Amino acid sequence: MPQRSEGAHRAATPTGPRRVVVGVAGSIAAYKAPTVIRLLRAQGHETRAVATQAALRFIGAPALAAVSGGPVGTGVFDDPAAVEHVGLGEWAELVLVAPASADLLARIAAGRADDLLTATILTTTAPVVLAPAMHTQMWANAATVENVATLRRRGLTIIEPDVGPLTSGDCGAGRLPAPERIVAEALAALAGAAAAARRAGGPEAASPGSLSGRRLVVSAGGTHEPIDPVRFIGNRSSGRQGVAIASAAVARGSDVVLIAANISPEVLAPLGESTAAPGAGTARIVEAPTALDMEAAVRSEATSADAVVMAAAVADFRPARPGISKIKKHRLADGAGPATGGADEAVGLAGGPAPIELVANPDILAGLVADPPRPGQLIVGFAAETGDEEGDALAHGAAKARRKGAHLLAVNAVGGGRGFGDVPNAVVVLDPQGAEVTRGEGSKAEVAELILDLIAERLPR
């Protein structure tokens, strides 16, 4: 699983100070809550902290009060005359819970209102963002998976936990993400201002082509397979088509994770901008520079996705043994060979250059079809093809559609001013038998809308 660096997440943030209720549930990760509050206040937002009784076993109320700038709410009956849960729910422009325990997720999903935090969530019309933290087995349990799916259907935003070492000594999904990521994703949800409309079942949620409340994983860009620390095997993909799909999905109300392979900030910019549109969903970016990174990221993020769109150009092969240092041309020419043994030995022979030994990368699309991370998931692939002596681009695409078995495969013939880079695109969309479903031509944004129309038609309502 690739590490999420601070630069790997980009999202729009709201303008002006906002009122944020920060909830804290019972988890060892509660110690990160003050940092979350501090980051919000550093950006000018007003905060109020609400803790469950279990949370106070892990962190003291004075610590939360000190960073939030006011008393910490805990019980519904702390001040019965104030009807505090209603007041907090009306006051809040955003409710952010970090960490959210498995127990809290279950209580919210059940509509419980047995403490101040759950009662506030039940009364508010503001966006609600939950950052779960728990042991891997609890996160993967069918009850938790169902609760998370229920909450997402209702319009609540769930920030996927990180993968890494856990308090128990195990390693897996369930770690509370870094406070910086939590704040960025929460403010992205606020900027979109879509959660309240989705929970209320407004017209946007029922409009044709809407993806409101859906979660999409989209891959984009081209992987780089290292030859040595300086050189790599790559391709011409800019990532523009995948970013266009992700941006359009966010504009339709979807919560999108973009798995980005070596995409420039300029190309990524429209995704952040899309979160500011009325009724927009949220966007998160996970960097995956190599094919192996891409496979790990896609499989991890797709566990709760309604649809996966594989628009990235993933290298078919990678060097078997990348050089641990830059391979010097003169060492090959003078017959000296590589400077060190081991990993460098496959790339040079005495007297001149030798072929680079390649090994096959995993077929990510075929793997998703054969073993979907989530039952009932819609899988969409892309195939850039050219004609040759064995057939034209569409014939190659039809054969690939039958081999891969994806629900939809968008075949684009590249070259001649079409395909890679900031140029128009033309696609023929095929079904798993290789039969044509539809076709379209235009800007990458127009092609993105075509693909999303097909996805919206096929997802269960």
Residues with a catalytic annotation lie at 235
162 assigned ligand-binding residue: no
- By C-alpha distance, which of 149, 92, 85, 146 is closest to 118? 85
Backbone torsions φ then ψ of 421, nearest 5 degrees? 85, -165
- The reply, when asked if residue 382 is annotated as ligand binding, is yes
Check the annotation: does 316 bind a ligand.
Answer: yes
326 assigned ligand-binding residue: yes
Burial (CB count <10 Å: 0-12, 13-18, 19+), residue 340:
exposed
Cis peptide before 278 (omega within 30 of 0): no
Separation of alpha carbons 365 and 321, rounded Å? 25
Nearest to 30 by CA among 4, 61, 9, 3: 61
| Contact call for residues 129 and 159 (beta carbons, < 8 A) | yes
On whether 365 is known to bind a ligand per the annotation, the reply is yes
The pair of three-digit structure tokens given for residue 437, joined into one six-digit string = 């479903």
Task: Count CA within 13 A, CB hemisphere, residue 407.
Answer: 19
* Binding-site entries for CTP: 316, 326, 362-365, 382, 400, 404
* Binding-site entries: 316, 326, 362-365, 382, 400, 404
